[in-house]
Amino acid sequence: MTDTLDRAVAALGRLEGRIMRLVWTSAVATEFVVRDIGDLVPELAYTTVMTTLRRLADKGLLHAEARVGHRAHTYRAAGTPADYLAAASRREAGEVVARYGDAALAAFAARLGELTDEQRRRLRELGS
């Protein structure tokens, strides 16, 4: 998981990655509030953590729920690092094809011809 976690964190911005590493490694409870993250990174202002959590929720990495009778929200991970990488890869591959059209498809096809035997094995496993 470390390789997957590191890749997912690296694909995010510095602060978002730092917070999602805490969430994905269970440094906080399954459900948490802004203050829980703030306690783990006390050098960050409460409003900075709150804004970052809201942005992560807007991006679909966190689920946010309003707490009845409170102004605060509870948060929880929307998926695993692998889930995030899969969704980001699909989105970015789609953007490349939309931008470059057939040239992108040709590049993807050429890349398939350059795969190692191990990469081919993993690709077959992913397809089944």
Q: Which residues contact 51 (CB under 8 A, 6 or more apart)?
A: none
Q: Which of 71, 81, 61 is nearest to 33 (CA)?
A: 71
Please say whether the beta carbons of 24 and 33 come within 8 A. no
For the segment 66-114, what is each residue's pLDDT rounded down to a tens digit?
877 777 899 999 999 999 999 999 999 999 999 999 999 999 899 988 9
pLDDT at 1 over 60: no
